Structure 1
Amino acid sequence: MKWDWRRAASHASFRIDYRNILAGAVAGLGGAIAIGAMEWFSVAAHYPLFVIPFATSIVLVIGSPEAEPAQPRALIGGHLVTTLVGLAVLKLTGPQAWAAATAVGLSILAMYLTGTFHPPAGINPLLVVSNNLPWSFLLAPVLAGALLLAAFAYVWHRWLRRQSWPRRWL
């Protein structure tokens, strides 16, 4: 058993090198800047930051830009689709706990069917139904925030990191 632990520890230490530390620091800086911009946006839009569901999206888009859920179609579409599902369920049922759970399940199905699977967007229907949010939540902060995040990711990856992003827009 000791050897398995030591072997795992030695393999883990291989990731701790200058290149990985630098990549992690750059991704962390990008995430911090994006969260700061979202915090400013939340104050301007009069929505608390916890209601704006983008922190995990920022981590995904900045930290794993090559992943399919980090592409603009999934990023923007996933947030829009899940919020629409949440708003529709809220309109039909009211702000019930079982309705929030149903909205999350239906949102997963909707993302699969529309090709917009973005796991961080799964929180949107829960927020919408649990907090009885208005239809305006779809435009601000969701649509505006998703577009701002996509623009930030584009600038971050293309101009600052000199890397290709996105792999495709749609």
Structure 2
Amino acid sequence: MQILWRRHVAIRRRLIRLPRRCRAPLWVSRPPLSARFAFWSFVSGTLGILAIAAVTELFGHPLLIGSFGASAVLLFGTPDSPLTQPRNLIGGHLISAAVAIVLVALFGSSPLTMALAVGLAIFFMNVTHTTHPPGGATALIGVQGAAGWSYIFVPVLTGALILLAVVLVTSNVVYHRRYPRYWL
């Protein structure tokens, strides 16, 4: 009983300190905007999504899911981020897709399953060092659509590999970018 009381007191103290801990500067200085970097992000992101759409058209399998838009923002807007490196891009999407299909197989599609899918995707991406924020959307989309085992390969793996191919080309044909920083 005493342990529960200590936890209660500790949680209460944290809640009281919460507003103080949320304080942050309203404005911070940022490095100057590089028009060249922003333009190349625009071109690369557009090409990445167009490439997925073209493969969809060519083979007739829908490959474009919402999480790939978020991956494009990260890959082409912040290519140096650890969250965008190949291990994270591919691993994050695959782990999240696997979480989604296992949960759908066990529990079906419901708001609780969707929430669990996102939470478990975050957990497993953290544990495996493959955190890629759009993976949470991949898990959510998979549960919403009551995905089966093929979801891992089409659209998730295929779309992620297409984005990887595009970022490898577009980030290495210009001198102001280089991708990846590391593979694994």
Same fold (TM over 0.5): yes
TM-score band, normalised by the shorter chain? 0.7 to 0.9
| 1:42 Cα deviation after fit | 3.4
Whether 2:133 is the aligned partner of 1:119: answer yes
Q: Which has the higher helix share?
A: 1
Q: Aligned in 2, Cα 1:114/1:48: closer, same or farther, shift over 3 Å?
A: closer
TM-score by length of 2: 0.78
Q: Aligned in 2, Cα 1:42/1:53: closer, same or farther, shift over 3 Å?
A: farther
TM alignment of 1:128-147, pairs within 5 A: 128-147=142-161
Q: Partner residue of 2:93?
A: 79
Distance (whole Å) between structure 2 residues aligned to residue 84 and residue 114 of structure 1: 14
CA deviation map 1:17-43 (0-9, x unaligned): xxx122211110111111111222334
Q: Match of 1:54, SS?
A: helix
Residue identity opposite 1:25 in structure 2: F
What is the aligned counterpart of 1:47 among 41, 46, 62?
Answer: 62
Unpaired runs of 5+ residues, structure 1, are: 1-7
What is the aligned counterpart of 1:96 among 104, 110, 126?
Answer: 110
Unpaired runs of 5+ residues, structure 2, are: 1-26
Q: Does the 8 A contact of 2:63 with 2:159 survive in 1?
A: no
Q: Percent identity?
A: 34
Q: Does the 8 A contact of 2:47 with 2:166 survive in 1?
A: no
TM-score by length of 1: 0.84
Residue identity opposite 1:78 in structure 2: G
Q: Does the 8 A contact of 1:45 with 1:141 survive in 2?
A: no
Q: Partner residue of 1:56?
A: 70
| 1:45 Cα deviation after fit | 4.2
Residue identity opposite 1:40 in structure 2: A
Q: Partner residue of 1:167?
A: 181
Q: Partner residue of 2:32?
A: 15
| 1:91 Cα deviation after fit | 0.7
Task: Calculate the aligned-residue CA RMSD, in Å.
Answer: 2.1
Q: Does the 8 A contact of 2:66 with 2:137 survive in 1?
A: no
